[in-house]
Amino acid sequence: MSISPHPNFAQHLIAWHKQHGRHDLPWQNTRDPYRIWVSEIMLQQTQVAAVIPYYQRFLARFPDISSLALAPIDDVLALWSGLGYYARARNLHTAAQWVVTCYAGNFPQRAIDIESLPGIGRSTAAAVAAFAFGEQGAILDGNVKRVLARCFGIAGYPGEQAVQKRLWALAEALLPETQIEIYTQALMDLGATICARGKPRCDHCPMQALCVAHQTGRTAELPTTKLKAVLPLRETVFLILQQGGEVLLEKRPASGIWGGLWSFPEIEPEAILQTQLMQRFGVEAQRAKALEPLAHTFTHFHLTIRPLWVETTTPLVSKPGQVWLTLEDARGAAIPTAVRKLLDQLSIHYR
């Protein structure tokens, strides 16, 4: 079934945005591709309100692409700590190095070239090219998929290849001949502020008169949701080694969850504790206590963390990939949210 885009879709959207859209976000009102790119990466799977303080701190520390490229990855991850999806930060750092090396520090201007950088897909590349350079190109992030699916009555889970192909074709057919920057931002804003997933504000929507989902009472059905799989449950034991006011953190492998971040070491619960302490960490335990379990959910599984606090008596010795830090310095390191929560507990109960 072919889709005939409404001829006034773009015009309605642009007119609505001029009066009701968002105009004062920290990454708006600039043509700087670096600042736009950083914001687009941070906004992937993350709400605007959560991104703003991270964005501001990140730009204060890394004001341009050269400063980001030259920074140690630990510094980049430390400023990303708590924002989640840490592969974004690692890709951002690698892409900055690519731009410095391959483009002499000048951010590529065409979407096709931007998409070749690590961590950038078709939609993000088009958004950066539109906002920074005025290039005509369609975007199709989660918010836009929802707007188009509802407005044009497209059923099926948007993650399926056939449905996504239809949505891309529609997104391209709807592009206006001018004002691509306003149109692109308007699409994002409509999905984020009006055409919300749970409680869409249809009475305030400029597309109400032509929206198929609204006219047919299918707003709650579209877009079709993916059947939720039951997430598997996993468990791990975090070993919190503390001597005086310092704790031991261990750098995680670059791949996998929390890749490249500093974390409490994971240990085998069935193995003899003292043997693990001596062989792996070169310490002895003076006393130990099991702390309250901590639940943490990832995209593909639930994780139960069972923290084991151990006070050690041996001198502080750091092996490669390990570091002893004060609780304050540990909170400032590149750590995942779960570790930060445990450090907060230690600050209260185990000073």
Q: Cis bond leading into 72, ω under 30°?
A: no
Is 250 catalytic? The answer is no
- The rounded radius of gyration (Å) of the Cα atoms in the chain is 24
Q: Considering 40, 177, 250, 328, which one is annotated as catalytic?
A: 40
Cα separation of the two ends of the chain: 67
3-state secondary structure of 263: strand
Q: Measure Cα distances from 335 to 78, 82, 175, 340 in Å.
A: 7, 8, 42, 7
Q: Give the contacts of 196 (CB within 8 A, at least 6 positions apart).
A: none
Please give the distance of CA 141 from its chain centroid, rounded to a whole number: 13
What is the residue-wise DSSP string for 104-134? Answer: TTPPP-SHHHHTTSTT--HHHHHHHHHHHH-
- Which residue type sits at 45? Q
Q: Give the contacts of 259 (CB within 8 A, at least 6 positions apart).
A: 86, 87, 90, 252, 253
- Is the alpha carbon torsion for 296, 298, 300, 306 positive or negative? negative
Pairing status of strand 285-290 against strand 294-297: unpaired
- Which residue type sits at 269? P
**Residues with catalytic function:** 40
